[in-house]
Amino acid sequence: MQVSRDPTRPRPPPPADDWALFLDVDGCLLDFAATPDGAVVDDALRDALARWSARLGGALALVSGRSLVTLDAMFAPLRLPTAGLHGLERRHGDLHIDVQPAPRKLAEVREVAQSIARKYPGTVVEDKGIALALHWRADPLAATDFEALATTAALELADYHLQHGDHVVELRPAGANKGSAIAAFLDEPPFRGRAPVFAGDDLTDEHGFEVVNARDGLSVLVGTREPSAARCGLRDVADVRAWLGIAPGEHI
């Protein structure tokens, strides 16, 4: 993977009408909250996404580690093309949904994870159906136990692997990531033939940056994490909102 060694990336140009725009959610559109349920989508963001979707002819998609069910609840009543669970779930441009079933073994792992979480108040076991995310932002001491459980489970579950993020490890099926999801969107309407642009903040977004770079698009890192394949940068969530034309302080 080619990575940028320069922490000062140019700011991306304002969104253009010929873009296929892909946006990560947590750490990009929304600030991180203490727990996954603590993140709230305000009306200004929801309305801005609806406006951009209309302007781009529907070629705007959310690309997130969250499940489609969770994202739909957060952004309701707005429904956009969406890649959930890092591409394991996908709502196409025509709003058709692809979802995979979860193996029974994952329920056993969830029960063990919940018993660990009870020892570390504030930690969260996020049931994503086909995937399981273990969050320790509220208590970093839980990282060792959660990592050990996830590593063992990944060995026992066929075709599962670990996806590490910011204070979280996710146990998920192999074979899909944010890059493959973006590539699939770009092969179908209304995204096909447009200039791809992807903004995200986390390690899980690197696959997406690589796909966009390979197609001569714009890869946009939110924050200062290094190294990264992203070629442009925005400082933080507030800067992303300004880039999308949401005025400072414009909330519910």
Catalytic annotation present for 24: yes
252 CA to centre of own chain: 23
Residue 234's closest CA among 37, 49, 18, 24?
24
Write the DSSP assignment of 116-151 as a string of letters. HHTTSTT-EEEE-SS-EEEE-TT-GGGHHHHHHHHH
Distance CA 17, CA 176 (A): 29
6, 17, 18, 24: the catalytic one is 24
Beta bridge mates, 98: 90
Residue 206's closest CA among 178, 225, 238?
178
Burial of 141 (0-12, 13-18, 19+ CB in 10 A): exposed
- Catalytic residue positions, numbered: 24
